[in-house]
Amino acid sequence: MPKASIANGSTPDVSIIVPARNEEASLGACLESLTAQAGVTFEIIVVDDASSDRTPEIAQSFTGVRVLSLSPEPPPPNWTGKNNALVAGAKVARTQWLLFTDADTVHLPGSLARALDEAKKQQADLLSYSPAQTVVTFAERAVMPVVFAELAAQYPPHKVREENSRVVAANGQYILVRRAAYDAVGGHAAVATEILEDVALARLFRNAARRIHFRYGGDAVRARMYRNWPQLREGWTKNLALLFPQPGFLAFQSLLLWFAVWASLGIAISGALSHRFLMIAFAAFWLLVIRRLRAANFTTANNLFAMAAGPPIFVYLLWRSKRAHAIGQVEWKGRVYDVGARKTSAPAVAVKQVPSIENQRLRTGN
């Protein structure tokens, strides 16, 4: 661990806040990459959100990492567990800049110093990176490029960066904020009931005329969001209907495109076999779809795989998400959230629902 990086006694440059609930599979790699950062002083605060696995033990094994343990009691009414953890972490942070990052991220060497420098050069109050996504299983490789291609079309980063744009986005896996601006808009306490807290937080910054800088951040951070099909299904069921304003239409469009892709390939192959070379031109339709998928920043081979197998899975997840939100409940990490009870914002005094910290144990209540 570089001695120059983690502040001892003096106020560091950045507070890194990592919410963690049952993250034993990924937290170690995340903290290894964070404690190795150089070129800037920082403190690391891991907020253990009532984990039932080895998450707290792993966090405590890293020298210099502060671990806050939330009570197993439910979060305040209608608050999400992640927002409750983020508010708790921000409450004890002592710097002018806060980095909120997920436990499933891995940070490239020197990325923290570069991100801080980029935020200052861009005069950004909120800087957010969309990490490079690591995919391993069949479901990940098939559906993740499709999802992120659609996200890139729905929330183009260059549009998000425009000060007067109505397109607002951020990726909760990596959000660096200026503390003064964060407190001024109410922080995560003001969006504590929101399932998509990252987009909601970015909207608060935009509405307050605070500058947002958002881009693909594969040069700084990578992440593996879901490690198996149940996690992927549950995660995107929670989010997709909120990320896309017309999930039903998008599902129909995606399925139609998938049929068109395979039909065009069939026509091209038939043309090649019958020497009707004009029909081979239908294969160019694949190039148009590949061009769309390239915005997701996956390899060409993975994009081809996703184009062949991903849309039907994406359509199923869209349908499942739309249905769950219509019913009014979504589930994530053992907790059920009533999405019908969500509010556009929580009162600024909501932060008072996280009492003071004693012996690094947090108790949350009404």
Return d(Cα 318, Cα 320) in angstroms, integer.
5
Return d(Cα 359, Cα 323) in angstroms, integer.
43
Give the range with max mean pLDDT: 8-12, 101-105, 292-296.
Answer: 101-105
Q: Which residues contact 156 (CB under 8 A, 6 or more apart)?
A: 167
Q: Is residue 149 domain-shared with residue 19, that is, in the same domain?
A: no
Q: Provide the pLDDT confidence category of residue 288 given band limits of 50, 70 and 90.
A: confident
Q: Which residues pair with 338 in a beta bridge?
A: 329
- 247-273 vs 300-327: helix axis angle to the nearest 10? 150
pLDDT computed for residue 239 by the predictor = 96
Return d(Cα 214, Cα 315) in angstroms, integer.
27
Domain of 251? Answer: 136-155+228-333
129, 134, 140, 145: CA torsion to nearest 10: 50
pLDDT computed for residue 344 by the predictor = 40
Q: How many domains does the chain have?
A: 2
Q: Is residue 222 domain-shared with residue 240, that is, in the same domain?
A: no
Please tell me whether residue 14 adopts helix, strand or coil conformation.
strand
Q: Which residue has the higher pLDDT, 253 or 262?
A: 253
Q: Provide the pLDDT confidence category of residue 7 given band limits of 50, 70 and 90.
A: low
Q: Which residues contact 227 (CB under 8 A, 6 or more apart)?
A: 25, 26, 136, 137
Return d(Cα 281, Cα 291) in angstroms, integer.
16
Q: Provide the pLDDT confidence category of residue 353 given band limits of 50, 70 and 90.
A: very low
Specify the amino acid at residue 160.
V
Is 260 contained in some domain? Answer: yes
The mean of the pLDDT values for the chain is 88
Q: Is residue 147 domain-shared with residue 188, that is, in the same domain?
A: no
Q: Is residue 189 domain-shared with residue 282, that is, in the same domain?
A: no
Residue of 40, 235, 17, 242 whose CA lies nearest to 133: 235
pTM as predicted: 0.87
Is 162 contained in some domain? Answer: no
Q: Is residue 185 domain-shared with residue 299, that is, in the same domain?
A: no
pLDDT of 46-63, one tens digit each? 999 999 999 999 999 999
Q: Is residue 221 domain-shared with residue 302, that is, in the same domain?
A: no
Return d(Cα 72, Cα 150) in angstroms, integer.
37
Return d(Cα 22, Cα 49) in angstroms, integer.
8
The number of beta carbons lying within 10 Å of the beta carbon of residue 118 is 18
CATH number for the domain spanning 62: value is: 3.90.550.10
Q: Is residue 57 domain-shared with residue 193, that is, in the same domain?
A: yes
Return d(Cα 202, Cα 208) in angstroms, integer.
10
Is 2 contained in some domain? Answer: no
Q: How far, rounded to the nearest angstrom, does the alpha carbon of residue 288 sit from its chain's CA centroid?
A: 27
pLDDT computed for residue 365 by the predictor = 34
CB 357 within 8 Å of CB 210: no
- Phi, psi (degrees; rounded to nearest 5) at 223: -150, 150
Is 307 contained in some domain? Answer: yes
Q: Is residue 111 domain-shared with residue 44, that is, in the same domain?
A: yes
pLDDT of 202-215, one tens digit each? 999 999 999 999 99
Return d(Cα 103, Cα 226) in angstroms, integer.
12
Q: Is residue 273 domain-shared with residue 312, that is, in the same domain?
A: yes
CB 116 within 8 Å of CB 169: no
DSSP 15: E
